[in-house]
Amino acid sequence: YQQNLKTYTIVKQLLAEGNAGELQKYFGSRMEFGTAGLRAAMGAGISHMNDLTIIQTTQGFCRYLEKNFSDLKKRGVVIGFDARAHLSSGGSSKRFARLAANTFISQGVPVYLFSDIIPTPFVPYTVTHLKLCAGIMVTASHNPKQDNGYKVYWENGAQIISPHDKGISQAIEENQEPWPQAWDDKLIDSSPLLHDPYAMVNKEYFKDIQKQCFYRNINKETNLKFVHTSVHGVGHKFVQLAFKAFDLSPPFAVPEQKDPDPDFPTVKYPNPEEGKGVLTLSFALAEKDGARIILANDPDADRLAVAEKQESGEWKVFSGNELGALLGWWIFTCWKNNSRDTRAIKDVYMLSSTVSSKILRAIALKEGFHFEETLTGFKWMGNRAKQLMDQGKAVLFAFEEAIGYMCCPAVLDKDGVSAAVITAEMASFLATRNLSLSQQLKAVYDEYGFHITKASYFICHDPKVIQQLFDNLRNFDGKNTYPKSCGRFKVSGIRDLTTGYDSSQPDQKAILPTSKSSQMITFTFANGGVATMRTSGTEPKIKYYSELCAPPGNSDVEQLKKELDELVNALEKHFFQPEKNKLQRKTE
Average pLDDT over residues 440-467: 94
Q: List pLDDT tens digits, range 77-96.
A: 999 999 999 999 999 999 99
Of the three residues 424, 448, 472, the one that is the final residue of a domain is 448
Query: Considering the chain, what percentage of its residues have pLDDT values greater than 90?
Result: 92
Relative to beta strand 348-353, strand 370-374 is parallel
Q: CA 480 to CA 462: how far, in whole Å? A: 24
C-alpha distances in Å from residue 455, one per residue of 305, 488, 530, 547, 579: 16, 20, 11, 9, 19
Sequence letter at residue 480: N
Closest CA to 113 of 160, 166, 76, 85: 76
Q: Is there a domain that residue 374 lies in?
A: yes
Query: Cβ distance 51 to 99 under 8 Å?
Result: yes
Phi, psi of 463 (to 5 degrees): -55, -30
Query: Cβ distance 522 to 532 under 8 Å?
Result: yes
3-class DSSP state of 10: helix
Give pLDDT, residue 578: 95
Q: CA 423 to CA 446: how far, in whole Å? A: 21
Give pLDDT, residue 557: 87
Q: Is there a domain that residue 94 lies in?
A: yes
Sequence letter at residue 506: P
Q: How many CB atoms lie within 10 A of CB 517?
A: 10
366 lies in the same domain as 300:
no
Q: CA 236 to CA 255: how far, in whole Å? A: 10
Q: Rounded to the nearest 5 degrees, what angle is found at the Cα of 564, between the Cα atoms of 559 and 567?
A: 130
| CATH assignment at residue 521 | 3.30.310.50
543 lies in the same domain as 455:
yes
16 lies in the same domain as 153:
yes
Q: How confident is the model at residue 517 (pLDDT cuts 50, 70, 90)?
A: confident
512 lies in the same domain as 556:
yes
Q: How confident is the model at residue 423 (pLDDT cuts 50, 70, 90)?
A: very high
Q: List pLDDT tens digits, range 300-312.
A: 999 999 999 999 9
Give pLDDT, residue 318: 97
> Does the structure show a pLDDT above 60 at 463?
yes
33 lies in the same domain as 163:
yes
Give pLDDT, residue 193: 98
Least confident of 11-15, 255-259, 350-354, 583-587: 583-587
Using the CB atoms, write b or e for 7-35: b if 16+ within 10 Å.
beebbeebeeeeeeeebebbeeebbebbb
Q: CA 86 to CA 92: how far, in whole Å? A: 6
127 lies in the same domain as 26:
yes
Closest CA to 426 of 405, 447, 456: 405
Give pLDDT, residue 586: 85
Q: CA 21 to CA 89: how far, in whole Å? A: 19
Least confident of 134-138, 293-297, 340-344, 486-490: 340-344
Query: Cβ distance 522 to 531 under 8 Å?
Result: yes
Query: How would DSSP label each residue in 527-581?
Result: TSEEEEEEE-SSSSEEEEEEEEE--TT---HHHHHHHHHHHHHHIIIIII-TTTT
C-alpha distances in Å from residue 275, one per residue of 169, 267, 271, 315, 588: 35, 11, 8, 11, 8
Give pLDDT, residue 278: 95
> Which are the contacts of 150, defined by CB distance < 8 A and separation ≥ 6?
37, 38, 39, 49, 54, 57, 96, 100, 136, 137, 138
Query: Cβ distance 577 to 492 under 8 Å?
Result: no
372 lies in the same domain as 409:
yes
Domain hosting 270: range is 205-316
> Does the structure show a pLDDT above 70 at 1?
no
Query: Cβ distance 156 to 148 under 8 Å?
Result: no
Q: How confident is the model at residue 556 (pLDDT cuts 50, 70, 90)?
A: confident
Q: List pLDDT tens digits, range 7-42.
A: 999 999 999 999 999 999 999 999 999 888 999 999
Of the three residues 416, 448, 480, the one that is the final residue of a domain is 448
> Does the structure show a pLDDT above 60 at 588?
no
17 lies in the same domain as 166:
yes
Average pLDDT, the chain: 95
Q: How confident is the model at residue 587 (pLDDT cuts 50, 70, 90)?
A: confident
| CATH assignment at residue 277 | 3.40.120.10
Q: How confident is the model at residue 343 (pLDDT cuts 50, 70, 90)?
A: confident
Q: How confident is the model at residue 389 (pLDDT cuts 50, 70, 90)?
A: very high
Q: How confident is the model at residue 248 (pLDDT cuts 50, 70, 90)?
A: very high
Q: List pLDDT tens digits, range 60-80.
A: 999 999 999 999 999 999 999
Average pLDDT over residues 368-372: 96
C-alpha distances in Å from residue 6, one per residue of 29, 68, 91: 21, 36, 9
Q: Is there a domain that residue 200 lies in?
A: no
Phi, psi of 367 (to 5 degrees): -95, -15
Q: How many CB atoms lie within 10 A of CB 289?
A: 12
3-class DSSP state of 159: strand
Please count the structural domains in the chain.
4
581 lies in the same domain as 479:
yes
Q: CA 153 to CA 39: how far, in whole Å? A: 15
Q: Is there a domain that residue 386 lies in?
A: yes
C-alpha distances in Å from residue 378, one per residue of 122, 232, 233, 330, 405: 15, 24, 21, 21, 9
Better-scored residue on pLDDT, 213 or 276: 213
Question: CA 556, 561, 562, 568: dihedral to nearest 10 degrees?
Answer: 150
> Does the structure show a pLDDT above 60 at 274?
yes
28 lies in the same domain as 170:
yes
Of the three residues 396, 416, 448, the one that is the final residue of a domain is 448
358 lies in the same domain as 493:
no
213 lies in the same domain as 283:
yes
Phi, psi of 373 (to 5 degrees): -105, 145
Query: Cβ distance 297 to 230 under 8 Å?
Result: yes
Query: Cβ distance 545 to 524 under 8 Å?
Result: no
Q: How confident is the model at residue 552 (pLDDT cuts 50, 70, 90)?
A: confident
- CA atoms 323, 326, 330, 332: torsion sign: positive
Q: How confident is the model at residue 515 (pLDDT cuts 50, 70, 90)?
A: confident
**Does an H or E element contain 201, and which?**
helix 198-209
Q: CA 234 to CA 231: how far, in whole Å? A: 8
Q: Is there a domain that residue 470 lies in?
A: yes
> Does the structure show a pLDDT above 70 at 323?
yes
C-alpha distances in Å from residue 20, one per residue of 13, 53, 275: 12, 21, 40
Catalytic positions are: 141
Sequence letter at residue 545: Y
Average pLDDT over residues 399-408: 97
Q: List pLDDT tens digits, range 161-182.
A: 999 999 999 999 999 999 999 9
Query: How would DSSP label each residue in 59-95?
Result: HHHHHHHHHH-TTHHHH-EEEEE-S-EETTTTEEHHH
